[in-house]
Amino acid sequence: MWKRERPAPVDLEHVLSEAPVLPPPAVRPVAPRPAPLVEVPAERSFAGRGSTLGATLRFKGDLVADEDLVIQGQVEGSILHSRSLTIGAQGRVRGDIRARRIIVEGSVDGNLYALESVSLRPGATVHGDLFAAGVAIDDGARLTGRIDMDNAPTVPTVSVAVADSPDPGARELSAPEADTLLTGS
């Protein structure tokens, strides 16, 4: 019914030898990149410092982490953190924070409990008490609360279970355990 015709074989050498020679593409100069609107000094750059919760993120609930963290968005709830925690200039936290080191550049409405230190950078606003062995308050930072350096807390190590985690010691916290760690009671 249908007869399929076979095309004649193509001689690639013959086709390539008769192909027209095209001139090389013209090289266009690349325009320089525009300068960034805001430059961040190298010592305050967040690149490579762990995870970042972006400025458009809104998180409600208790946050538990075991890696360096920068918060640029809004968090409503307690934070339990076993490493360095930075509340960026755009960051807003409503709740108590427990961490090894806390750096505030944005605003916090809650108590800060740090094993090592709390640092309030210019533009920081904190409404709550500070409990830490070391406290630094830069010019331009505002604190409404008290500072207690004698009763610095201890921050427990946090292990969070992750599927296929390379850390065999990681375990999932039960609700009572997590609640005890977050509230400190």
**pLDDT digits over 140-161, tens only?**
999 999 999 887 775 444 544 4
Average pLDDT, the chain: 75
List the one residue out of 45, 49, 48, 73 whose CA is nearest residue 59.
73
Q: What pLDDT is attached to residue 12? A: 61
Q: What is the DSSP letter of 105?
A: S
Q: What pLDDT is attached to residue 46? A: 46
Q: Report, as an integer, the average pLDDT of 61-86.
A: 89
Q: Report, as an integer, the average pLDDT of 100-112.
A: 94
Q: Where are the domains of the chain?
A: 48-161+171-176
The CA distances from residue 176 to 59, 173, 184, in Å, are 21, 8, 12
Residue 63 tokens read as 């946050």
Is the predicted pLDDT of residue 119 greater than 90, yes or no?
A: yes
pLDDT top residue among 80 and 34: 80
